[in-house]
Amino acid sequence: MQLIPAIDIINGQCVRLTKGDYAQKTVYNSSPAEVAAGFEAIGFKRLHVVDLDGAKSRHIVNGQVLRDIVAQTQLVVDFGGGIKTDADIEEAFQAGAQMVTVGSIAVQQPELCFKWLEQYGADRIILGADVRKGKISINGWKEDSTEDLLPFLRKYVDAGVKNVLCTEISKDGTLSGPAIELYESIMNAYPSLHLIASGGVSSIDDIRALEAAGIPAVVFGKAIYEGRIDLRQLIMDNE
């Protein structure tokens, strides 16, 4: 199973929110690049970075943090938050992201995202499908769209999407366990997807339950910062 630690950024700092609520913010470290280097030292190869200021402001805000992480590690970094225009996605790639996650713009301007898939290739684009009560949420999870999850995914699978990051917002940052049934429903509908589960992971047992359900990848953050997961043991078990 692909294990992907997460770094969420507000004001240049490593933070976590609860259920996407900016008012429920905990700052864990003032140097995201230092946190990233620590993940690499333990043995992780991938990193998921979210510019929460960017998601809220609708343009990239913490590009320098991405550049710092790329300069100080060899991690394969995927970056999301605030990617709305050609200039934004180009900035993310120029800053060193190997992949980008697009969410809100995929709801609001699908034709632009289809163009990016063709321009950059499906291996470099991750479709963000953040779900609340069955609907795709947008703009830093402040709004719910009218898009239902599976039909939304269908049009992107048909367009060539290979990578999907799905967050169950009601689980995110709660340490209450992942929404395994939700991820299973996606895999049953689209078994060829590289699905990245996100939200609710609280323990190694949660990660193993996702793996047993056939989910190919997982993003997790708060369980790390709250000391719920022995990362070295996790890496050893996954080898």
Estimate the crossing angle of helix 204-212 against helix 231-238, to 10 degrees.
Answer: 30
Tokens of 171: 């689980």
Q: Under the phi-then-psi rule, with left for phi > 0, alpha for psi from -120 to 50, and beta for the rest, what region is 158? A: alpha
**First-to-last CA distance in the chain?**
9
Beta partners for 24? none
Dump the DSSP string for 105-168: HHHH-HHHHHHHHHHH-GGGEEEEEEEETTEEEETTTTEEEEEEHHHHHHHHHHTT--EEEEEE
Which residues have C-beta within 8 Å of that of residue 15, sequence separation ≥ 6? Answer: 8, 9, 25, 26, 27, 28, 52
Whole-Å CA distances, 168 to 49, 135, 194: 17, 10, 17
Instruction: Supply φ then ψ for residue 139, to 5 degrees.
Output: 55, 60
Determine the Cα–Cα distance for residues 56 and 65; give it in Å rounded to an integer.
17
**Catalytic site positions:** 8, 130
Determine the Cα–Cα distance for residues 64 and 26; give it in Å rounded to an integer.
21
